[in-house]
Amino acid sequence: MDKTVPDLATAVQGIETGMTLMVGGFGGSGAPVELIHALIDRFRATGSPGKLTVVNNNTGNGRIGLAAMIDQGMVAKMICSFPRSVDARAFTERYLAGQIGLELVPQGTLAERIRAGGAGIPAFYTPASYGTDVGNGKPVAEFDGKHYVQERWLKADAALIKAETADRLGNLTYRRAARNFSPLMATAAALTVVQVARIVEPGAIDPEVVVTPGIFVDRIVAVPNAKQEEALMRGGVAYA
Amino acid sequence: MSAKLSNAQIAWRAAQDIEDGAYVNLGIGFPEMVAKFQPRGKQAIFHTENGVLNFGEAPAEGEEDWDLINAGKKAITLRPGAAFFHHADSFAMVRGGHLDVAILGAYEVAENGDLANWSTGPKGVPAVGGAMDLVHGAKRVAVITDHVTKDGKPKLLKRCTLPLTGVGCVTRVYTSLAVVDIEHARFVLREKLPAMSVAELQAVTGAELVVPGRIGDLVAPEL
């Protein structure tokens, strides 16, 4: 029942070339920087995993985390709502050169597609994007006199997320606004890997405050002094 | 023609219509300025897409907690009675009709309520964020904008020419020259700069302004 693993390299085992990977975080808030860097380390050593489809709200910032993964050429396609940031060179250069794909999804639709994926709902209707270029070509239906666009669920082979505290059964709490997409991604991936600031014994987290129940979590790795992506970016750090 | 309102004055004017206790989402960039101009005694509860209700102003430099940011990725603080939630709940608040007001910027607004504010065309990297969700569901979807483009062309049009963010979604437009409601797919003039004639305003507006009996003066303090 103990879902803890000893180190980051073990935590990211089984994430292979061609997979769809969800990565938690909104900008730097909640970005699982150490898990991403562990995946980059393996890619550098073995050439795998590459050709990944990555789901995140953004496409990274500066030369660290998700941006560094794109820089390494590990990502074939991004599914995101806002592929811009203060320093979006990594994605922008590859996109304009035709070296990386982009599926642009309105932010609320992205969240709901992931939620639906985790909840066993194959499709749903949303008002977002009706009558726009983004909604163009998707099935449309009218409910109570208003038009809605059909969207499909989004699932992944694996999710990398960051939480604050986990017990050994995988129950999670998050820190401030760092939860964003992570509780949804935890439900929608076949393999959910979580880096946490601290691991506690079962019973040490009040059941009233659990945000992600352990049923959605497969592996937990302790990263006590995790780097904050925004702080790294502002410090000019590059992981390359 | 008299001097137009500055961006701060447009934001001030929009802020005057926000009720005490209203749940409000301000689009990133220019609309964020609205928070600074809430009238004394009226306190809105601000929502940000990335999962915070009731956030306050930016912290002092050096005091930032980068796990506590707004949709524009800027550091924020919390007000007493704040709440955190995940992204699906956040957009349930948006699309589910729970927000009272969303205030957004615009490239173009059409008389039928269509809004274009996310793309200026196929060049570069497209990015939409939460704009296409935010235009649906809030009880009032207001736009703040200069009345004309940098080249002096109307931004209030019969039909938008740029890629749409949403159809038939805008209910009120606060510009540098006027306050205009969108009712039954028409621009209805509510307020204008006192020194400007209706004819002058119509000349810089790309669709017909319906002029009701009484038009208010658009007056903002020096800011």
Q: What is the pLDDT of residues B146-155, one digit of tens each?
A: 999 999 999 9
- Choosing from B49, B63, B64, B183, the catalytic residue is B49
- Beta strand ranges found along chain A (DSSP E): 20-23, 52-55, 75-80, 101-104, 123-126, 140-143, 146-152, 156-167, 172-173, 189-200, 219-222
Q: Any idea which residue has 């500055």 for tokens? A: B6
Q: What burial letters (b/e) apply to B22-40, b meaning 16+ CB within 10 Å?
A: bbbbbbbebbbbbbebbee
Catalytic residue list contains B49: yes
Tens of pLDDT along A173-224? 999 999 999 999 999 999 999 999 999 999 999 999 999 999 999 999 999 9
**Inter-chain residue contact A96 with B125, CB threshold 8 Å:** yes
Cα separation of A116 and A99, whole Å?
30
| A142 phi, psi to nearest 5 deg | -105, 130
Q: Are A56 and A30 in contact (CB under 8 A)?
A: no
Average of pLDDT values for A45-58? 98
For chain A, give the percent of residues with pLDDT over 70: 100
Cα separation of B21 and A209, whole Å?
27
* A25 in B contact zone (CB under 8 Å): no
Q: Are B49 and B124 in contact (CB under 8 A)?
A: no
* B68 in A contact zone (CB under 8 Å): yes
Tell me how many residue pairs between chain A and chain B have CB atoms under 8 A apart.
144
- Domains of chain B plus CATH, in order, are 7-217 (3.40.1080.10)
**Both tokens of residue B15?**
């802020």
Report the first-to-last Cα separation within chain A, whole angstroms.
37
- In this predicted structure, the answer to whether residue B2 has a pLDDT above a threshold of 70 is no
- In this predicted structure, the answer to whether residue B108 has a pLDDT above a threshold of 50 is yes
- In this predicted structure, the answer to whether residue B107 has a pLDDT above a threshold of 80 is yes
Every domain of chain A and the residues it spans: 8-122+155-234
Which helix (H) or strand (E) is B38 found in, with range? Answer: none
Contacts of B51 in chain A (CB under 8 A): 26, 177, 179-180
Tens of pLDDT along B23-82? 999 999 999 999 999 999 999 999 999 999 999 999 999 999 999 999 999 999 999 999
Quick one: closest CA in A to B55, which residue? A177
pLDDT at B137: 83
Tens of pLDDT along B133-180? 999 989 999 999 999 999 999 999 999 999 999 999 999 999 999 999
- In this predicted structure, the answer to whether residue A163 has a pLDDT above a threshold of 70 is yes
* A115 in B contact zone (CB under 8 Å): yes
Bridge partners, A189 (sequence order): A156
- In this predicted structure, the answer to whether residue B183 has a pLDDT above a threshold of 60 is yes
Report chain A's mean pLDDT, rounded to a whole number.
Answer: 97
Quick one: closest CA in B to A116, which residue? B88
**Minimum-distance CB partner of A84 among B67, B125, B166:** B125
In degrees, rounded to 5, the angle at the alpha carbon of residue B24 between the alpha carbons of residues B23 and B28 is: 155
Q: How far is B47 from chain A (nearest CA, A)?
A: 12
Report chain B's mean pLDDT, rounded to a whole number.
Answer: 96
Q: A8-122+155-234 belongs to which homologous superfamily? A: Glutaconate Coenzyme A-transferase (3.40.1080.10)
* A109 in B contact zone (CB under 8 Å): yes
Assembly ipTM: 0.97
**Both tokens of residue A44?**
């550098």
- In this predicted structure, the answer to whether residue B213 has a pLDDT above a threshold of 90 is no
**What is the pLDDT confidence band of residue B121, given thresholds at 50, 70 and 90?**
confident
**Minimum-distance CB partner of B50 among A29, A132, A133:** A29
**Minimum-distance CB partner of A29 among B66, B124, B128:** B66
Listed residue (A112, A138, A134) closest to B49, CA to CA = A112
Contacts of B91 in chain A (CB under 8 A): 107-108, 111-112
pLDDT at B1: 45
* A125 in B contact zone (CB under 8 Å): no
